[in-house]
Amino acid sequence: MLPGIPLFPEQASTLAPEVDNLYFFITAVTAFFALLVVVLVVVFAIKYRDKTGEKVGHPIHGSLPLEIGWSIIPFLVAMVIFVWATVVFFHIVRAPDQALEVYSTGKQWMWRFQHIDGQSEINELHVPVGRPVKITFTSEDVLHSLYFPAFRVKADAIPGRYSSLWFTATKTGEYHLFCAEYCGTAHSGMVGKVVVMEPDDYQAWLSGGGGLSLAARGEQLFQQLGCVGCHLGDGSGRGPSLAGKYGTEETLATGATVAIDDIYIRESILTPQMKLTAGYGPLMPTFQGLVTEEGVMSLIEYIKSLSSTAGPAAPTQASAPAPPPAASDNTGGPGE
Protein backbone atom coordinates (compact mmCIF):
# COMPACT_ATOMS: atom_id res chain seq x y z
CA MET A 1 0.00 0.00 0.00
CA LEU A 2 1.08 3.52 -0.64
CA PRO A 3 1.56 5.55 2.50
CA GLY A 4 -0.83 8.35 3.17
CA ILE A 5 -3.97 6.97 1.57
CA PRO A 6 -6.81 7.85 3.90
CA LEU A 7 -9.25 4.96 4.23
CA PHE A 8 -11.64 6.16 6.85
CA PRO A 9 -13.11 9.51 7.77
CA GLU A 10 -12.80 11.10 11.18
CA GLN A 11 -15.50 10.25 13.73
CA ALA A 12 -16.50 13.52 15.33
CA SER A 13 -20.13 13.17 16.37
CA THR A 14 -22.23 10.88 18.54
CA LEU A 15 -23.91 9.63 15.35
CA ALA A 16 -20.67 8.77 13.58
CA PRO A 17 -19.91 5.54 15.50
CA GLU A 18 -23.52 4.39 15.02
CA VAL A 19 -23.28 4.91 11.26
CA ASP A 20 -19.81 3.38 11.09
CA ASN A 21 -20.81 0.25 12.99
CA LEU A 22 -23.61 -0.25 10.49
CA TYR A 23 -21.10 0.30 7.68
CA PHE A 24 -18.72 -2.31 9.11
CA PHE A 25 -21.54 -4.80 9.52
CA ILE A 26 -22.80 -4.38 5.95
CA THR A 27 -19.23 -4.51 4.67
CA ALA A 28 -18.66 -7.80 6.49
CA VAL A 29 -21.91 -9.34 5.27
CA THR A 30 -21.46 -8.27 1.65
CA ALA A 31 -17.79 -9.27 1.65
CA PHE A 32 -18.84 -12.73 2.78
CA PHE A 33 -21.36 -13.13 -0.06
CA ALA A 34 -18.99 -11.61 -2.61
CA LEU A 35 -16.17 -13.94 -1.60
CA LEU A 36 -18.49 -16.92 -1.58
CA VAL A 37 -19.56 -16.32 -5.17
CA VAL A 38 -16.11 -15.32 -6.42
CA VAL A 39 -14.48 -18.39 -4.88
CA LEU A 40 -17.13 -20.68 -6.35
CA VAL A 41 -16.83 -19.10 -9.81
CA VAL A 42 -13.04 -19.36 -9.77
CA VAL A 43 -13.04 -22.92 -8.44
CA PHE A 44 -15.67 -24.06 -10.97
CA ALA A 45 -13.94 -22.26 -13.83
CA ILE A 46 -10.67 -24.04 -13.09
CA LYS A 47 -11.92 -27.40 -11.87
CA TYR A 48 -14.38 -27.95 -14.71
CA ARG A 49 -12.31 -26.34 -17.42
CA ASP A 50 -12.40 -28.12 -20.75
CA LYS A 51 -9.71 -26.92 -23.15
CA THR A 52 -11.15 -28.75 -26.12
CA GLY A 53 -14.67 -27.37 -26.08
CA GLU A 54 -15.79 -30.88 -27.00
CA LYS A 55 -17.18 -32.13 -23.70
CA VAL A 56 -20.59 -31.38 -22.31
CA GLY A 57 -21.68 -30.74 -18.75
CA HIS A 58 -23.68 -32.91 -16.42
CA PRO A 59 -27.44 -32.68 -16.86
CA ILE A 60 -28.32 -30.64 -13.78
CA HIS A 61 -31.39 -28.47 -14.23
CA GLY A 62 -32.01 -26.97 -10.82
CA SER A 63 -32.84 -27.59 -7.22
CA LEU A 64 -35.88 -26.24 -5.43
CA PRO A 65 -34.35 -26.43 -1.93
CA LEU A 66 -31.35 -24.45 -3.15
CA GLU A 67 -33.57 -21.85 -4.84
CA ILE A 68 -35.59 -21.43 -1.66
CA GLY A 69 -32.45 -21.30 0.46
CA TRP A 70 -30.70 -18.65 -1.56
CA SER A 71 -33.87 -16.57 -1.73
CA ILE A 72 -34.75 -16.73 1.97
CA ILE A 73 -31.31 -16.40 3.53
CA PRO A 74 -30.31 -13.22 1.64
CA PHE A 75 -33.76 -11.81 2.36
CA LEU A 76 -33.40 -12.41 6.10
CA VAL A 77 -29.92 -10.92 6.11
CA ALA A 78 -31.27 -7.92 4.18
CA MET A 79 -34.03 -7.50 6.77
CA VAL A 80 -31.48 -7.39 9.60
CA ILE A 81 -29.68 -4.60 7.76
CA PHE A 82 -32.99 -2.87 7.03
CA VAL A 83 -34.10 -2.81 10.67
CA TRP A 84 -30.73 -1.76 12.00
CA ALA A 85 -30.33 0.98 9.38
CA THR A 86 -33.83 2.28 10.02
CA VAL A 87 -33.16 2.58 13.75
CA VAL A 88 -29.99 4.57 13.02
CA PHE A 89 -31.92 6.70 10.52
CA PHE A 90 -34.51 7.70 13.09
CA HIS A 91 -31.71 8.73 15.43
CA ILE A 92 -30.37 10.90 12.63
CA VAL A 93 -33.66 12.57 11.69
CA ARG A 94 -35.00 13.16 15.21
CA ALA A 95 -33.20 15.99 16.91
CA PRO A 96 -33.08 16.04 20.71
CA ASP A 97 -35.29 18.66 22.37
CA GLN A 98 -32.61 20.69 24.05
CA ALA A 99 -30.52 21.32 20.95
CA LEU A 100 -28.73 24.60 20.37
CA GLU A 101 -30.46 26.14 17.37
CA VAL A 102 -28.69 27.63 14.38
CA TYR A 103 -30.31 28.89 11.21
CA SER A 104 -28.73 28.62 7.83
CA THR A 105 -29.39 29.52 4.23
CA GLY A 106 -27.65 28.15 1.21
CA LYS A 107 -27.35 30.12 -1.98
CA GLN A 108 -25.19 29.98 -5.07
CA TRP A 109 -22.43 29.45 -3.82
CA MET A 110 -22.15 29.98 -0.09
CA TRP A 111 -23.53 28.86 3.23
CA ARG A 112 -24.59 31.49 5.69
CA PHE A 113 -25.07 30.52 9.33
CA GLN A 114 -27.04 32.61 11.75
CA HIS A 115 -26.68 32.02 15.49
CA ILE A 116 -29.58 32.91 17.76
CA ASP A 117 -27.39 35.25 19.76
CA GLY A 118 -26.69 37.36 16.74
CA GLN A 119 -23.42 36.07 15.33
CA SER A 120 -23.53 35.22 11.68
CA GLU A 121 -20.86 33.65 9.55
CA ILE A 122 -20.27 32.54 5.98
CA ASN A 123 -18.89 29.11 5.03
CA GLU A 124 -17.82 28.64 8.63
CA LEU A 125 -19.79 27.30 11.53
CA HIS A 126 -18.65 27.47 15.14
CA VAL A 127 -20.27 25.01 17.53
CA PRO A 128 -19.55 23.82 21.06
CA VAL A 129 -18.38 20.28 21.70
CA GLY A 130 -20.68 17.90 23.56
CA ARG A 131 -23.92 19.77 22.98
CA PRO A 132 -26.61 18.90 20.44
CA VAL A 133 -26.78 21.45 17.66
CA LYS A 134 -29.78 21.65 15.38
CA ILE A 135 -29.49 23.52 12.10
CA THR A 136 -32.66 24.67 10.38
CA PHE A 137 -32.04 25.74 6.83
CA THR A 138 -33.41 26.50 3.43
CA SER A 139 -32.15 27.62 0.06
CA GLU A 140 -32.59 30.98 -1.58
CA ASP A 141 -32.26 29.66 -5.13
CA VAL A 142 -31.55 26.10 -6.30
CA LEU A 143 -31.17 22.85 -4.39
CA HIS A 144 -28.16 22.53 -2.14
CA SER A 145 -27.27 19.93 0.44
CA LEU A 146 -25.63 20.62 3.77
CA TYR A 147 -23.13 17.86 4.48
CA PHE A 148 -20.78 17.27 7.42
CA PRO A 149 -18.84 14.07 6.60
CA ALA A 150 -17.17 13.89 10.01
CA PHE A 151 -20.59 13.93 11.65
CA ARG A 152 -22.14 11.55 9.02
CA VAL A 153 -25.13 13.83 8.45
CA LYS A 154 -26.52 15.66 5.46
CA ALA A 155 -29.83 17.02 4.25
CA ASP A 156 -30.89 18.86 1.11
CA ALA A 157 -31.59 22.57 1.26
CA ILE A 158 -34.76 23.06 -0.73
CA PRO A 159 -36.12 26.45 -1.79
CA GLY A 160 -39.54 26.99 -0.29
CA ARG A 161 -39.04 24.50 2.54
CA TYR A 162 -37.21 24.14 5.80
CA SER A 163 -34.89 21.22 6.33
CA SER A 164 -33.05 20.42 9.48
CA LEU A 165 -30.26 18.23 10.71
CA TRP A 166 -28.59 17.81 14.06
CA PHE A 167 -25.39 16.49 15.56
CA THR A 168 -23.50 16.45 18.82
CA ALA A 169 -19.84 17.00 18.11
CA THR A 170 -17.55 14.82 20.21
CA LYS A 171 -14.12 16.18 19.33
CA THR A 172 -12.83 19.72 19.04
CA GLY A 173 -11.21 20.59 15.76
CA GLU A 174 -12.01 21.71 12.25
CA TYR A 175 -13.95 19.52 9.84
CA HIS A 176 -15.22 19.78 6.29
CA LEU A 177 -18.55 21.24 5.41
CA PHE A 178 -19.66 20.51 1.85
CA CYS A 179 -22.51 21.24 -0.51
CA ALA A 180 -23.46 17.77 -1.68
CA GLU A 181 -26.24 18.59 -4.15
CA TYR A 182 -25.08 19.89 -7.50
CA CYS A 183 -25.98 23.58 -7.70
CA GLY A 184 -24.25 25.05 -10.73
CA THR A 185 -20.97 26.71 -11.66
CA ALA A 186 -19.13 26.88 -8.33
CA HIS A 187 -20.76 23.86 -6.68
CA SER A 188 -17.39 22.51 -5.61
CA GLY A 189 -16.52 25.92 -4.17
CA MET A 190 -19.55 25.88 -1.88
CA VAL A 191 -17.49 24.38 0.91
CA GLY A 192 -16.31 25.49 4.30
CA LYS A 193 -15.47 24.25 7.72
CA VAL A 194 -17.16 23.56 10.97
CA VAL A 195 -15.12 24.56 14.00
CA VAL A 196 -15.87 22.52 17.11
CA MET A 197 -14.80 24.40 20.24
CA GLU A 198 -14.71 23.85 23.98
CA PRO A 199 -17.89 25.34 25.50
CA ASP A 200 -15.98 28.21 27.13
CA ASP A 201 -14.20 29.08 23.93
CA TYR A 202 -17.49 28.93 22.14
CA GLN A 203 -19.09 31.36 24.60
CA ALA A 204 -16.16 33.69 24.17
CA TRP A 205 -16.43 33.45 20.40
CA LEU A 206 -20.15 34.04 20.56
CA SER A 207 -19.85 37.20 22.62
CA GLY A 208 -17.02 38.49 20.47
CA GLY A 209 -19.20 39.45 17.56
CA GLY A 210 -21.66 41.75 19.28
CA GLY A 211 -24.67 42.91 17.35
CA LEU A 212 -28.29 42.22 17.98
CA SER A 213 -29.69 38.81 18.74
CA LEU A 214 -31.67 37.13 16.01
CA ALA A 215 -34.94 37.72 17.86
CA ALA A 216 -34.12 41.40 18.31
CA ARG A 217 -33.41 41.68 14.60
CA GLY A 218 -36.72 39.98 13.96
CA GLU A 219 -38.41 42.53 16.17
CA GLN A 220 -36.88 45.37 14.20
CA LEU A 221 -38.06 43.79 11.00
CA PHE A 222 -41.50 43.24 12.52
CA GLN A 223 -41.75 46.97 12.85
CA GLN A 224 -40.08 47.94 9.59
CA LEU A 225 -42.36 45.74 7.55
CA GLY A 226 -45.43 47.06 9.34
CA CYS A 227 -46.45 43.70 10.80
CA VAL A 228 -46.87 45.46 14.09
CA GLY A 229 -49.72 47.55 12.70
CA CYS A 230 -52.11 44.60 12.51
CA HIS A 231 -50.73 41.88 14.76
CA LEU A 232 -51.47 43.64 18.04
CA GLY A 233 -50.46 41.80 21.18
CA ASP A 234 -53.90 41.98 22.79
CA GLY A 235 -55.65 40.44 19.79
CA SER A 236 -57.58 43.60 18.94
CA GLY A 237 -55.78 44.17 15.63
CA ARG A 238 -56.79 43.21 12.13
CA GLY A 239 -54.53 40.20 12.37
CA PRO A 240 -54.28 37.65 15.16
CA SER A 241 -52.01 38.29 18.10
CA LEU A 242 -48.79 36.35 17.87
CA ALA A 243 -47.99 36.34 21.57
CA GLY A 244 -47.76 32.88 23.09
CA LYS A 245 -48.70 31.25 19.80
CA TYR A 246 -45.51 29.41 18.82
CA GLY A 247 -45.74 25.71 19.46
CA THR A 248 -49.54 25.78 19.84
CA GLU A 249 -52.23 24.99 17.31
CA GLU A 250 -54.29 27.41 15.27
CA THR A 251 -57.79 26.89 13.93
CA LEU A 252 -58.03 27.96 10.31
CA ALA A 253 -60.93 29.59 8.50
CA THR A 254 -61.55 26.25 6.83
CA GLY A 255 -62.03 24.63 10.22
CA ALA A 256 -58.81 22.65 10.00
CA THR A 257 -56.14 23.02 12.62
CA VAL A 258 -52.49 23.55 11.96
CA ALA A 259 -49.45 23.40 14.22
CA ILE A 260 -47.76 26.78 14.55
CA ASP A 261 -44.17 25.97 13.74
CA ASP A 262 -41.38 27.41 11.62
CA ILE A 263 -42.90 26.18 8.40
CA TYR A 264 -46.37 27.55 9.12
CA ILE A 265 -45.00 30.95 10.05
CA ARG A 266 -42.89 31.05 6.89
CA GLU A 267 -45.93 30.15 4.78
CA SER A 268 -48.03 32.78 6.54
CA ILE A 269 -45.50 35.48 5.71
CA LEU A 270 -44.94 34.51 2.09
CA THR A 271 -48.37 33.14 1.10
CA PRO A 272 -50.69 34.54 3.78
CA GLN A 273 -53.91 33.72 1.94
CA MET A 274 -53.19 29.99 1.91
CA LYS A 275 -54.05 29.19 5.53
CA LEU A 276 -56.14 31.99 7.03
CA THR A 277 -56.74 32.00 10.76
CA ALA A 278 -60.38 31.56 11.69
CA GLY A 279 -62.08 34.88 12.37
CA TYR A 280 -59.73 37.05 10.32
CA GLY A 281 -60.22 38.35 6.82
CA PRO A 282 -57.81 37.89 3.90
CA LEU A 283 -56.20 41.28 4.42
CA MET A 284 -52.52 40.45 4.72
CA PRO A 285 -50.42 41.08 1.61
CA THR A 286 -47.68 38.67 0.64
CA PHE A 287 -44.18 39.55 1.70
CA GLN A 288 -42.62 37.47 -1.03
CA GLY A 289 -39.71 39.45 -2.44
CA LEU A 290 -39.81 41.95 0.40
CA VAL A 291 -38.15 39.81 2.99
CA THR A 292 -35.17 37.51 2.57
CA GLU A 293 -35.02 33.96 3.84
CA GLU A 294 -32.82 35.20 6.65
CA GLY A 295 -35.34 37.90 7.44
CA VAL A 296 -38.06 35.27 7.70
CA MET A 297 -35.88 33.26 10.05
CA SER A 298 -35.39 36.30 12.30
CA LEU A 299 -39.14 36.92 12.33
CA ILE A 300 -39.72 33.31 13.34
CA GLU A 301 -37.19 33.66 16.11
CA TYR A 302 -38.91 36.84 17.26
CA ILE A 303 -42.35 35.17 17.28
CA LYS A 304 -40.83 32.30 19.23
CA SER A 305 -39.49 34.78 21.77
CA LEU A 306 -43.02 36.14 22.25
CA SER A 307 -43.96 32.77 23.67
CA SER A 308 -41.26 32.70 26.29
CA THR A 309 -41.92 36.18 27.72
CA ALA A 310 -45.23 37.22 29.20
CA GLY A 311 -45.51 40.73 27.82
CA PRO A 312 -44.18 41.16 24.31
CA ALA A 313 -43.02 44.55 23.26
CA ALA A 314 -44.97 44.67 20.07
CA PRO A 315 -48.36 46.07 21.17
CA THR A 316 -46.89 49.00 23.02
CA GLN A 317 -45.39 50.20 19.80
CA ALA A 318 -48.54 49.76 17.83
CA SER A 319 -49.12 53.48 17.63
CA ALA A 320 -45.77 54.14 16.06
CA PRO A 321 -46.14 54.50 12.32
CA ALA A 322 -44.39 51.70 10.47
CA PRO A 323 -42.39 52.46 7.37
CA PRO A 324 -43.90 51.02 4.21
CA PRO A 325 -42.57 47.61 3.27
CA ALA A 326 -41.14 48.83 -0.01
CA ALA A 327 -38.69 51.03 1.83
CA SER A 328 -37.16 48.17 3.75
CA ASP A 329 -34.94 46.50 1.23
CA ASN A 330 -32.26 45.88 3.82
CA THR A 331 -34.36 43.33 5.61
CA GLY A 332 -31.91 40.49 5.64
CA GLY A 333 -29.88 41.83 8.51
CA PRO A 334 -26.28 42.96 8.34
CA GLY A 335 -23.96 41.53 5.76
CA GLU A 336 -26.48 41.43 2.97
Partner 1 sequence: MTTTVLPRVNYLNVKHTVASWLLTKDHKRIGIMYLIVVSLAFLIGGIFAALIRVELTTPLGDLVSDDTYNKLFTMHGVAMVFFVLIPAVPAILGNFALPLMIGAKDVAFPKINLLSWYIFVIGFLFTIAAGILGGVDTGWTFYTPYSSVYSNSNVLLTGIGIFIAGFSSILTGLNFMVTIHRMRAPGMTWFRLPLFIWALYATSLVQILGTPVIAITVLMLAVERALGFGFFDPRLGGDPVLFQHLFWFYSHPAVYIMILPPMGAISEVIACFSRKSIFGYSFVAFSSLAIAVFGFLVWAHHLFVSGISPYSAMVFSFLSFAVAIPSAIKTFNWTATMYRGAIWWQAPMMWVFGFMGLFLIGGLTGLFLAALGLDVHLHDTYFVVAHFHYIMVGGAIMGYFAGLHYWWPKMTGKMYSNSAATLAALLVFVGFNLTFFPQFIVGYLGMPRRYHAYADEFQVLNVLSSAGASIMGVGYTLIACYLLYSFFKGKDAGPNPWRAVGLEWETQSPPIPENFTEQPIVTAAPYGYETRESNVG
* Near partner 1 in 157-176, by CB under 8 A: 158-161, 163, 176
Instruction: Please identify which residue in 12, 14, 92, 265 interacts with partner 1, judged by CB under 8 A.
Output: 92
Is the CB of 55 or the CB of 255 nearer to partner 1?
A: 55
Instruction: Please identify which residue in 116, 133, 169, 180 interacts with partner 1, judged by CB under 8 A.
Output: 180
- Closest separation in Å from C-beta 67 to partner 1: 5
Q: Is 88 in the site for partner 1 (CB under 8 A)?
A: yes
Sites for partner 1 among residues 135-154 (CB under 8 A): 141-143, 145, 147, 149-150, 152-154
Sites for partner 1 among residues 104-123 (CB under 8 A): 108
H or E stretch including 41? Answer: helix 15-47
DSSP 303: H
Which are the contacts of 104, defined by CB distance < 8 A and separation ≥ 6?
111, 112, 113, 114, 125, 135, 136, 137, 146, 157
Which are the contacts of 213, defined by CB distance < 8 A and separation ≥ 6?
116, 117, 118
- Judged by CB under 8 A, which stretch of 37-45, 199-207, 295-303, 327-335 contacts partner 1? 37-45
CA atoms within 13 A on the CB side of 94: 6
Sites for partner 1 among residues 207-246 (CB under 8 A): none
Is the CB of 219 or the CB of 262 nearer to partner 1?
A: 262
Q: Is 81 in the site for partner 1 (CB under 8 A)?
A: yes
Q: Is 38 in the site for partner 1 (CB under 8 A)?
A: yes
How far is 112 from 102, CA to CA, in rounded Å?
A: 10
Instruction: Please identify which residue in 178, 202, 222, 302 interacts with partner 1, judged by CB under 8 A.
Output: 178
Q: Rounded to an integer, what is the distance from CA 196 to the centroid of its chain?
A: 18
Sites for partner 1 among residues 7-26 (CB under 8 A): 7-9, 18-19, 22-23, 26
**188 closest CA partner among 250, 109, 280, 78:** 109
Residue count, binding to partner 1 (CB under 8 A):
92
Is the CB of 70 or the CB of 238 nearer to partner 1?
A: 70
Label residues 161-189 b or e (16+ Cβ within 10 Å = b): ebbbbbbbbbebeebebbbbbebeeebee
**Do the strands 144-148 and 173-179 form a parallel or antiparallel pair, or are they unpaired?**
antiparallel
Q: Are 125 and 110 in contact (CB under 8 A)?
A: no
Q: Is 125 in the site for partner 1 (CB under 8 A)?
A: no
